Chain A
């Protein structure tokens, strides 16, 4: 089962995974949407993004929000809105703390740094904020992104029964 899941996620992301993963959010076809990634990959590489978006539909939608300039817009809002900034920076901190707890009892590992997706000053990446929100319900920027992308609306699953890309899959914006 673990291998099947890994295979599905590898197909969704179009690349081999460098660690085991756990699915923490699924779509209406019960396919993985967000995975939990360990803070160090199999070869020890520090990996700051605890929750990774795997759903191709969401990846595409969030990509187009980013290309429309939403990161810049939200960074500006963080500058101007104290309450938003407070909620965002609290999550940055707790995300880092939760991730670094994983390594408490392990030796010879380098902790990754930064908050959500390794972000420090800027939001940096909306995919990682959406993934964090879907997994934990704690991410204020992720909540804004969810409101912009809406629900899982694919008519066909993105992966077929042989764990291959479904040729008929198309996402609608």
Chain B
């Protein structure tokens, strides 16, 4: 038995899972996330800003303390779209190595999807006719199986990208909404009809939708796991939050991480557009994702 810590440095949030691994089975010891907004401003400058770097480093410092408390044997750390896109990724990775002795490895969108599928399948009864969507800060992975192989389509649309370039304000104004939908659809052109598959949604946007759907006062990831939510509910939820200010969204939905308030509307619009495009009527949410996959792939 080993104890392994997995850290996912994403574009919007930085997440940690500490788990026991025993013969390819995981037992979760601790899981948390922090919205570090690592890619904030990246669209304009092409760089990870000093403020974002500070947030990320504070979070990693805090995570290291927790990892020590759990006496983890190994740390696996990955970086996704924000690290793929930023000019100064290598400098930051070097600093992380020096400051925290953590090796952050940048993974491709393809690998991101593969790891996510391993995580989801470890905790789900489905093993064929698969369709997993991971909405991230700056990319979205669409993962499906074809002839017994896992295929991944990674697109450069994420909640932060949408928020910074299109849906810049809440309440949403209609020409910004139209431009956002146009942009999303132009990035989803390659998608086929997946109506015979069950859509499994992972990561912050989908888990937040499920938590709000269940009217949770406090976020509880055991309760959201495998919950089914239909398109109509998500559609009417979008129509309600698009008329609200970010502060009203945060005020009304106490289980939502308040730092996700600013990107929730973009995320829900993206989820809806994907479901429309894929002709999917129902969403199933999974609490297991890339973090579980990262550990299982390596142990």
Cβ 8 A contact of B217, one of A133, A149, A155: A155
Distance in Å: Cβ of B84 to nearest Cβ of chain A: 26
Check: B156 CB closer than 8 A to any chain A CB. Answer: no
Q: Which residues of B contact A142 (CB under 8 A)?
A: 247
Most interface-central of B246, B251, B252, B255 (chain A CB within 10 A) = B251
Give Cα A17 to B275, complex, Å: 52
Cβ 8 A contact of B251, one of A148, A151, A155: A151
Asked if B258 and A27 sit within 8 Å, CB to CB, the answer is no
Asked if B217 and A146 sit within 8 Å, CB to CB, the answer is no
Cβ 8 A contact of B247, one of A27, A28, A143: A143
A136-167 interface code vs B (CB 8 A; 1 in, 0 out): 01000011001111111101000000000000
Asked if B247 and A150 sit within 8 Å, CB to CB, the answer is no
Q: What 4 new A-B contacts, CB under 8 Å, besides A146-B258, A151-B256?
A: A27-B251, A133-B247, A146-B247, A147-B250
Q: B residues 26-45 with Cβ under 8 Å of A?
A: none
Distance in Å: Cβ of A130 to nearest Cβ of chain B: 9
Asked if A143 and B256 sit within 8 Å, CB to CB, the answer is no
A residues adjacent to B (C-beta < 8 A) = 25, 27-28, 33, 133-134, 137, 142-143, 146-153, 155
Distance in Å: Cβ of A51 to nearest Cβ of chain B: 12
Check: B253 CB closer than 8 A to any chain A CB. Answer: yes
Give Cα A78 to B291, complex, Å: 37
Asked if B245 and A151 sit within 8 Å, CB to CB, the answer is no
Most interface-central of A133, A137, A150, A152 (chain B CB within 10 A) = A150
Asked if A150 and B254 sit within 8 Å, CB to CB, the answer is yes
Cβ 8 A contact of B250, one of A27, A33, A146, A155: A146
Classify the secondary structure of A's interface with B: mixed
The 10 closest A-B pairs by CB, nearest first: A151-B254, A153-B254, A137-B245, A150-B258, A146-B247, A147-B258, A151-B251, A146-B250, A147-B259, A133-B247
Q: Which residues of A contact B256 (CB under 8 A)?
A: 150-151
Give Cα A142 to B253, complex, Å: 17
A149 — nearest CB in chain B belongs to which residue? B258
Distance in Å: Cβ of B55 to nearest Cβ of chain A: 12
Q: Which residues of B contact A143 (CB under 8 A)?
A: 246-247
Q: List 10 A-B contacts (CB under 8 A).
A: A28-B254, A134-B248, A137-B245, A146-B250, A148-B258, A149-B258, A150-B250, A150-B254, A151-B256, A155-B217
Q: Which residues of A contact B251 (CB under 8 A)?
A: 25, 27, 33, 134, 146, 151-152
Q: B residues 210-253 with Cβ under 8 Å of A?
A: 217-218, 245-248, 250-253
Asked if B246 and A146 sit within 8 Å, CB to CB, the answer is yes
Distance in Å: Cβ of B242 to nearest Cβ of chain A: 14
Give Cα A148 to B218, complex, Å: 15
A150 — nearest CB in chain B belongs to which residue? B258
Asked if B252 and A152 sit within 8 Å, CB to CB, the answer is yes
